[in-house]
Structures are given as structure tokens and as C-alpha cells.
Chain A
Amino acid sequence: MSLGFVYSDIWEVLFLQNYNTRVVVLSTVLLGISAGLAGSFLLLRKRSLMSDTLSHACLPGIGLMFIGVTLAGGNGKSLSWLLLGATLSGLMGVGLVTAIRNTSRIKDDAAMGIVLSVFFGLGIVMLSLAQTLGGAAAGLESFIYGKTASMVNQDFQYLLWITGGTLVLCMALQKEFSLICFDENFARSLAWPVHFLDVVMMGLVVAVTVVGLQAVGLILIIAFMIIPAAAARFWTEKYRRMWMLAGFIGGCSGWMGASVSALLPRMPAGAVIVLVSGVAFLFSMFFGSARGVLKIKHRQVRMKRRVGRQHLLRAVYELLESKEKGGNSPVSITELMQKRSWSEKRLHSLIAQARREDHVEPVSGNRLQLSESGFAEAARYTRNHRLWELYLIRFADVATQHVDRDADHVEHVLGSKLVRQLEEELDATVHGMQLPDSPHAFVGAYEI
């Protein structure tokens, strides 16, 4: 098996036939799920970088614990001890950030930068000290870059507990967690123990980080936390769905990353997993159904089209109005051209669009006529437009941010009472018209 891998290998990995692979892959999936969930809180609480500080701050604890336990005659590589050390120094790091922020004028980001680098430096020193104790320290540097293949049954069990705990807490405390993320002060005004909830929430983050360290490494674990959550945000406007999706994306990334790295023995899983979730993020960013780039672009195009349609139909309607008879009859495109400052190309593309939408019927010569539905639409657009104009004129000082010209029914935005009032006003000024006349024409009347 020099070049590729055989089918049976793929089979074996994907379907977890081999015990070691099973432990590794399942552990990574669990890690992905819990990191995705915990990461959602970090993201919503705007504490993404906290997780980076935390993971870097874990390193000295690992080194110290190894040295301490080894000198005491124990097994320095015992996972429980190492993770305990990691937790303690990680918490210390986070506590230090808070302390620096609270006691000096140094801001959060700088405080995190300081703590992160100093703890990491200290950790490196500890690891090299640990090397002097003998060969047993050889595996410790896997905490830096991660070594998924080294995951054992114990990791799996820890992860099982942590994932289960995360899921239970997320379900039980969803309204509590979401409220303190959204509006902490309001939560406190309900006399909730916000600090306690915060500690629980960040406790989850610490637990996931510490257990994930060995698999993905302290440098990359932030990606594990943040990327799935950030990707999930593109797909939904609901936090519950965002949490679930983040867990799902995290789990899938973990599964795919770990499988690939099991197939390609020299490929470090942590990096592959991050790359996979990076791809998921990019995909979500472009194709996300709630706020993906394409979705937003699509909305803009649709909006542009709608504005164009309204302009065209209103222009035709106003032309018809200016003719003596009124009613629906053909209008010349040349006249239409003078109605607004649009280019010929733009006008023709608008007409073509209106024709596709059956708002306009072709008439011989350089003319066009509104269809029945087009006429009705045009009347509606014109009416709405004029009501808005009037509204803006009457309430110029306060109204601007309330105007939603795109609303199909003015009443929905302004309320039917106000619209009736506006309509009466228009009627009073313009006698015998079935439609409110353009208020531009009689602005002067108000001024007198």
C-alpha cells in the first residue's frame, strides 16, 4: 500500500471497524459536538478570544503537574492528573485576565494577549524542564499540536460525560443562557444569579477545552469552538437552531477530519478537522440560508428589481393620469423616457422585465400598454408612493426612520387610522380624483 489506500481501509475507518479507530473517531465526534455547543455561547457572549487564552494558559499546568507527579513517584502521564493541571492553570489564566482588566486600565484584548503569551511561554519552559526528567515526557508536546491518534478509552469516557453534560445543560438552561447572552442586565433585574450562570457556562467551555486539548492541540482548539458556531449563524436566526447546528457541524467536522487522518497516517487530525470545519464555514458563509452572502446578494437583486418595477409602473401610470381621458391606454416609450432620468438601456430592460411578469403588453410601434394586472399594480404603487410622500411631508421631523416604502400596504406600517387620515387629506386637496395626487404638486399649498 504505497500510494493510496485500499477500499477496505476506507470501509474500516468510516464504519469504525477497528477498535482504535473507533475510539479516536467517536471521541472526535463527541468533542466536535460539545465544542460546537460551548462555542455558541462564546460567540453569542462575545468572548471568542477567551477560549484561546484559556487553552494557551493550560500548558504550564500540564508541565507542572507532570513534573510534580513524577517527582512524587507517580505516573506523570496519567491523564487525570494532567487534565487537572490544565484546568487549574487555565482557570488561573482566565482569572488573571479578569483581574488585569478590573484593576488596571488595560483593556480586555490586551490583557488576553499578555496572559496568553506569558502562560504559553511558561508552559514551554515547563515542558523543557519536564524533558530533563527522562523519556517519559516525550508525549507531552502533543498538547500543543494535538495528536488525535493518542486518544484512549479514558478520553472517550471523559468526552462522553462532557458531551452528555453539555447537552443536558443546554436543554435545561436554554432560556437562562440565552437571556444572559442577550441582555445580562435584564437577567440581573430579574434577580437571577447571573454570575453563577456565567460560571456554569464558562465551566462548560473550560471542560471541553481541557479534554479537547490532547486531540486538537491548544493552538487549534479555538477553531473547534468558534468555527462551527460562526458557520451555524449563517443558517438560522434562532438561537436554539444555531446551537444544534453548531453541534452538528462540529460533530461532522470531527468525524470527517478524524477519518481522513486515520487514512493518511502522517496527517495530524487537529489540523484536518479545522480545515474541514473551515470548508464548512466558507460554504455556510456563501450559501447560508439566513445570512449567507448569496442570500443577501439575492435579496439585493430582488430589491433592485422591485424598485425598478415600481418606477416603471408608476411612470406609466402618471403618464396615463396626465392624459385627459385617464384609464388604461398605450403610452409611448419616448414620452416614458422623459419621465425619469433613466438610460435607454435601463428602461428597455425594465420593460422586458415587466413583460416577463405580465405587467406590460406589447403594442405596435414604439409604445407599450399596461396589462390588467399591471394597471392595478401601478395604481397601488402610485397610491402607496403618494401616501408615503404625504406622510413624510406631514411628519418630516420625526418620521424618516419609520418609512418602509417597500411595504405592500402602507397600513401595515402606519396603521389604518393614520392612512385614512392621510387619504382624507389628499382627497380634500384634490377633488374628484380616484387616486391621491402627487403631494409634490401641492407642497406649496401647505406652506401658505
Chain B
Amino acid sequence: MLPPTHPPHIPLAIDDLTVAYNEKPVLWDIDLDVPEGKLVGIVGPNGAGKSTLIKACLDLVPRASGRVMIYGEAYKKHRRMVGYVPQRESVDWDFPVSALDVVAMGTYGRIGWCRPVGKKFKQEAMEALERVGLAEYAHRQISQLSGGQQQRVFLARALAQDAQLYFMDEPFAAVDASTEKAIVTLLHELKDQGKTCLVVHHDLATVKEYFDWLILLNMRVVHAGPTDEIFTAENLKATYGGTLSALAEAGEALKRTKGATS
């Protein structure tokens, strides 16, 4: 039985979520309550359903069962509290828009239908672009930006959404050092403002450093909780299974983080 309501202070509560593509389940019985104001990493092997989990929360893929509550309400009702950073490869960067245009799309949810993007919203978009350090690229066509800059444009667009809860799909994938640093800084800023960020992440080596809460995912939630408690070799083994390379990598990561903390 699902509990009748969810407390409104829980940014994301998932009950019994199952998602299937072509009758093949990708996510099984996900039950999850994500606390507010945390940087949450979603970690797991390839094909574990990390992106799917995000998409299911955003109503982008059909759910076979289950319920997702955003601050105690269905997604449709609280969609304005949610910001989304899709994977960079999901769009055609040759599209005839400037960086500023893309960032302004973050404000579209608050602009009414059929209305142009007003001065106020353009200003907001510009501020978001400044926050990711790309103000001077505002009028460049987006294919003229480097991969890291494109990623930052996407982040700026999410900032322009002015949300409480952010879903980010691999923002650290194939970005340069300065972008990675900029993203981390931004995540901490968001956290300081009491916002919650769910971030799909691949690099086990940086998990401990970046995230204070963790979801270990492999078609089901293997473990979820504060990073300090659940980022252990045992749990990683349970998540990644027998894949040797991943395990080796995890072991390395653990050693490194232990060395750093002791």
C-alpha cells in the first residue's frame, strides 16, 4: 500500500516505481525519499537505468507502475520547482540559436503561452549565463562553443528555471577541468541556497568529493543514503557486480579517498 500523502518538505519521493522499455524492465520497484538540500549522486554501471530514473521523475518516459512526488505533489503540479539538465548529446548543437537563446528557454515555463521573451526574462538568462562564466559568449551560435561550454549553457538554462530541485544527466561527461570546477562550484552554491540536486555521475573517483548523498543504482536501488555511510567497497561490489574493471576502479577510488581523509 502506498502511503496516502507525502510530507511537502521531501523534494523527491518515489514509491514503487517500475519502468519498462518494450516489456523489458529497466527499473524495478524503486522506493526512495531524497532529503532536501543535498547534492545527490546517482551512481551505477552502464545500463543501470540512471538516466531512465531521471526521465521517469520528469514524466518523460511512461511508468509501468509507481508514483513520483515532488515536494508532496505530482510532477505536473510542481513542475516549476524542477530544473532539468539533459545529456549534452541529446540535442543538435547546429540549431540556429545563440547561447543566450538557449538559456532563455529556462524561463519559458514561467512565460505564458504565445508571449515573447520579455526584457526581464532576457536579463535573467543573461545573469544565469554570467553565473557559469559565459557572459561574453552570449551571442555566439551554440555550435561555436566547446563541449564544456555547451554543458555550461545547459546548466545556465537550468539555473534560469529558478527551481528547487534539479535533475542533471551526466553534466560531468567529457568536460574540461575548468568546466568541471565551475559545475562543482555551482552545485555548492545551489546547495547553500537549500536546493536539492540529483546528478547522474560516472566517475567513481570523485563521488566522495562531490556528493554528500548517494543513490547506488542497478535497475533497483542497491543502497541510498549519506555518502560517508554507503560508499563502501562492499556496496559498490553489490552495485557493479562482477565487472572487474569497474571494481578495480572502485577500489582505486576508495583507496584514494581513504588516503585523503586519514
- Interface residues, chain A, with chain B CB atoms under 8 Å away: 44, 46, 172-176, 178-179, 181-183, 185-186, 188-191, 233, 236-239, 242, 395, 398-402, 404, 412, 414-415, 418
Contact = CB atoms under 8 A, between A and B. Distances in A.
Nearest to A174: B116
Which of A44, A176, A183, A233 gathers the greatest number of chain B CB atoms within 10 Å? A183
B70 to A, nearest CB: 11
Contacts of B228: none
A186 B146 contact: no
Given A173-B114, A401-B146, A238 B97 contact: yes
Nearest to A398: B177
Given A173-B114, A399-B177, A412 B96 contact: no
Contacts of B133: 415
Interface in B132-183: 133, 136, 141, 146-148, 157, 174, 176-180
A404 B176 CA distance: 12
B207 interface: no
Contacts of B117: 175
Contacts of B98: 237-238
B58 interface: yes
Contacts of B76: 191
A179 B96 contact: no
Contacts of A174: 116
Contacts of B27: none
A398 B90 CA distance: 23
B148 A401 contact: yes
Given A181-B95, A183-B105, 6 more contacts: A178-B97, A185-B86, A186-B105, A401-B176, A402-B148, A412-B136
B177 A190 contact: no
B136 A189 contact: no
A414 B182 CA distance: 12
A237 B148 CA distance: 21
B91 interface: yes
Interface in B92-129: 92, 95-98, 101-102, 105, 108-109, 111, 113-114, 116-117
A402 B86 contact: no
Contacts, number: 95
B58 to A, nearest CB: 5
Contact of B92 (A182, A190, A402): A182
8 contacts: A46-B92, A183-B90, A189-B82, A238-B98, A239-B95, A401-B146, A401-B174, A401-B176
B176 A398 contact: yes
Interface string B200-212: 0000000000000
Contacts of B28: none
Interface residues of B, number: 40
B177 A402 contact: yes
B116 A191 contact: no
Majority secondary structure of chain A interface residues (helix, strand, loop or mixed): helix
Given A178-B97, A188-B59, A237 B141 contact: yes
A190 B79 contact: yes
Contact of A179 (B108, B141, B147, B177): B108
Contacts of A178: 97, 101
A189 B58 contact: yes
B60 interface: yes
B88 to A, nearest CB: 11
A172 B114 contact: yes
Interface of B: 55, 58-60, 75-76, 79, 82, 84, 86, 90-92, 95-98, 101-102, 105, 108-109, 111, 113-114, 116-117, 133, 136, 141, 146-148, 157, 174, 176-180
Contacts of B96: 44, 233, 236-239, 242
A402 B179 CA distance: 9
B178 A415 contact: yes
Given A175-B108, A190-B109, A185 B60 contact: yes
Contacts of A401: 146-148, 174, 176
Contacts of A172: 114
Contacts of A181: 95
Nearest to A397: B177
Contact of A186 (B86, B113, B178, B179): B86
B207 to A, nearest CB: 17
A239 B176 CA distance: 29
A175 B176 contact: no
Nearest to B109: A190
Nearest to B177: A398
Which of A233, A237, A400, A415 gathers the greatest number of chain B CB atoms within 10 Å? A237
B163 to A, nearest CB: 11
A153 B160 CA distance: 50
Contacts of B108: 175-176, 179, 190
A17 B141 CA distance: 45
Given A173-B114, A190-B108, A237-B141, A183 B91 contact: yes
A-B interface, 4 closest residue pairs, ranked by CB to CB distance from nearest: A402-B176, A237-B141, A398-B177, A172-B114
A245 to B, nearest CB: 11
Contacts of B148: 401-402
A404 to B, nearest CB: 8
B165 to A, nearest CB: 12
Nearest to B167: A189
Contacts of B105: 175, 179, 182-183, 186
Nearest to B86: A185
A115 to B, nearest CB: 23
Contacts of A46: 92
Contacts of B55: 185
Given A239-B97, A398-B177, A414-B178, A189 B116 contact: no
B66 to A, nearest CB: 18
Nearest to B180: A398
Contact of B95 (A173, A182, A414): A182
Contacts of B136: 412
Contact of A188 (B60, B141, B146): B60
A414 B181 CA distance: 12
A228 to B, nearest CB: 15
A181 B108 CA distance: 14
Nearest to A179: B105
Nearest to B110: A190
